[in-house]
Amino acid sequence: MPPTTCEVCKDARAAVIRPKNSQKICKRCFLEVFESEIHETIVSNNLFYRGERVAIGASGGKDSTVLASVLKTLNERHDYGLNLVLLSIDEGIKGYRDDSLETVKRNALQYEMPLEIVGYDQLYGWTMDQVVAQVGKKGNCTYCGVFRRQALDRGAAKLGIKHVVTGHNADDVAETVMMNLLRGDLPRLARATSIVTSSAASAIKRSKPLKYAYEKEIVLYAHHKKLDYFSTECIYSPEAFRGSARTLIKDLERIRPSSILDIVKSGEDMAALVPPEVGGSVSCAGEAEEEANSCGSRNTNGDSMDLVEKQLALNEAAAERETEIKVPTATAKPQVTGHPAAVSIHDKKSNGRRKGKIVKQVMGQCERCGYMSSQKVCKACSLLEGLNKSRPHTSIEVGVEDEEASTTLMREVAGIAISAG
Binding residues vs other proteins (CB under 8 A)? 40-41, 44, 177-178, 181-186, 189, 193-195, 212, 244, 248, 251-252, 254-256, 258-259, 261-275, 278, 305-306, 308-309, 312-313, 316-317, 320
Q: Which helix (H) or strand (E) element contains residue 132?
A: helix 128-135
The minimum distance between CB 14 and other proteins, in angstroms, equals: 21
The minimum distance between CB 46 and other proteins, in angstroms, equals: 12
CB of 151 closer than 8 Å to CB of 291: no
End-to-end CA, the chain: 69
CB of 325 closer than 8 Å to CB of 200: no
Residue 1 contacts by C-beta under 8 Å, 6 or more apart in sequence? none
Q: What radius of gyration do the chain's Cα atoms show?
A: 22
15: left (phi over 0), alpha (psi -120 to 50) or beta: alpha
Q: What's the rounded Cα separation, in Å, for the pair 30 and 46?
A: 24
CB of 83 closer than 8 Å to CB of 110: no
Residue 94 contacts by C-beta under 8 Å, 6 or more apart in sequence? 129
The minimum distance between CB 18 and other proteins, in angstroms, equals: 15
DSSP assignment of 289-356 equals: -TT--SSTTSS-----HHHHHHHHHHHHHHHHH--SS--SSSS------S-GGGS-TTHHHHSSPPPS
The minimum distance between CB 215 and other proteins, in angstroms, equals: 17
Q: Which CB sits closer to other proteins, 178 or 234? A: 178
CA torsion through residues 387, 377, 87, 296, sign = positive
Q: Which CB sits closer to other proteins, 40 or 322? A: 40
The minimum distance between CB 107 and other proteins, in angstroms, equals: 28
The minimum distance between CB 185 and other proteins, in angstroms, equals: 8
Q: Which CB sits closer to other proteins, 92 or 209? A: 209
3-class secondary structure, 82 = coil
Q: Which helix (H) or strand (E) element contains residue 385?
A: helix 379-389
Quote the strand ranges of 103-200, DSSP E: 115-119, 163-165, 196-197
Q: Which CB sits closer to other proteins, 12 or 181? A: 181
Q: Which CB sits closer to other proteins, 309 or 401? A: 309
Q: Which CB sits closer to other proteins, 75 or 304? A: 304
Closest CA to 187 of 300, 349, 364, 308: 349
Q: Which CB sits closer to other proteins, 21 or 365? A: 21
The minimum distance between CB 208 and other proteins, in angstroms, equals: 13
Q: Which CB sits closer to other proteins, 126 or 212? A: 212
The minimum distance between CB 139 and other proteins, in angstroms, equals: 18
The minimum distance between CB 321 and other proteins, in angstroms, equals: 10
The minimum distance between CB 129 and other proteins, in angstroms, equals: 31
Q: Which CB sits closer to other proteins, 219 or 261? A: 261
Query: Which amino acid is present at 66?
Result: V
CB of 372 closer than 8 Å to CB of 285: yes
Residue 18 contacts by C-beta under 8 Å, 6 or more apart in sequence? 24, 25, 30, 33, 217
Distances in Å between the Cα of 303 and the Cα atoms of 22, 140, 141 are 37, 10, 9
The half-sphere exposure of 99 on its side-chain side, counting CA atoms within 13 A, is 13
Q: Which CB sits closer to other proteins, 261 or 410? A: 261
The minimum distance between CB 230 and other proteins, in angstroms, equals: 30
Q: Which CB sits closer to other proteins, 80 or 212? A: 212
